[in-house]
Amino acid sequence: MTTTLFISDIHLCAARPDMTAALVRFLAHDAPGADALYVLGDLFEFWIGDDDLTALHQEVAAAFLTLSQQGVPIYFIHGNRDFMLGKQFARRAGMTLLGDPCVIELYGERVLLSHGDMLCTHDVDYQKYRRIVNLRWLRWLFLRLPLSRRQAIAHKIRGQSGTENPNKHRSIMDVTPEAVDELMRQHECRTMIHGHTHRPAIHDFSLDGAPARRIVLGDWFEQGSILVCSPAGQRLETRALS
């Protein structure tokens, strides 16, 4: 069957081998034969540079590379957790890096892809942070720190990120409808696929008087979340982690 697969927000880390095992199974058993696989960001919980060659990173790269060598194109959009994943890892994994946002042709339709964090415009503090970490010169400087120093910084940031601001309402961490509409108008698309919010759903709505659709991918914390697209339509599926 002709299908294209989309995943995001796996958040792989050494502390959750069950998520890694589930992803490796998916790549070995579900993804072969697909027209393409798109990973829409936050594949890893954090990324401090392609030179951080952990056992986890090497296992995941090998699993993706095997799929690529079977003839399945793999495309990757950076997330807010792994925005520094670079060309070296992409080569090891057989991936093609895409910009965010980007437009693809999917079974005769223009479809807009994004990780999704740019759409959460009501979260003003996060958008300020996002603008800072996307500064190229800052990334350049960070990647030239010794690996041990980057590991220490990442450990500190992960510790801080575990404490959520109790005053931040969940609604501001979701996408802003106006931002969705504007981005879809800008790219002349009627369908958008994104992750980031961890709220899997298919939203049908009206954009300028015509039907539109926004598909949100889920995370892999409790079960695998996969979007399966074919010429007949789109459906969200789940996979057990064990």
- The reply, when asked if residue 139 is annotated as ligand binding, is no
Strand partners, 207: 210
Report residue 159 as tokens.
């510790």
What are the strands, taking DSSP E only, across the chain? Answer: 4-7, 36-39, 74-77, 95-98, 102-106, 109-114, 191-194, 201-207, 210-216, 224-230, 233-239
Report residue 120 as tokens.
């959460």
- The reply, when asked if residue 187 is annotated as ligand binding, is no
- The reply, when asked if residue 161 is annotated as ligand binding, is yes
- The reply, when asked if residue 165 is annotated as ligand binding, is yes
Report residue 109 as tokens.
């339709």
- The reply, when asked if residue 29 is annotated as ligand binding, is no
* Phi, psi for 166 (deg, rounded to 5): -70, -15
- The reply, when asked if residue 125 is annotated as ligand binding, is no
What is the rounded CA–CA span in Å between residue 185 and residue 208? 9
- The reply, when asked if residue 11 is annotated as ligand binding, is yes
- The reply, when asked if residue 131 is annotated as ligand binding, is no
Q: How far is CA 229 from CA 30, 42, 102, 126, 226, in A?
A: 13, 21, 17, 31, 10
Q: What is the amino acid identity at position 184?
A: M
- The reply, when asked if residue 100 is annotated as ligand binding, is no
- The reply, when asked if residue 52 is annotated as ligand binding, is no
- The reply, when asked if residue 9 is annotated as ligand binding, is yes
Determine contact, residues 32/3, Cβ cutoff 8 Å.
no
- The reply, when asked if residue 156 is annotated as ligand binding, is no
Residues placed in the known binding site: 9, 11, 42, 80-81, 115, 123, 161, 165, 168, 196, 198
Residues placed in the known binding site for substrate: 80-81, 123, 161, 165, 168, 196
Residues placed in the known binding site for Mn(2+): 9, 11, 42, 80, 115, 196, 198
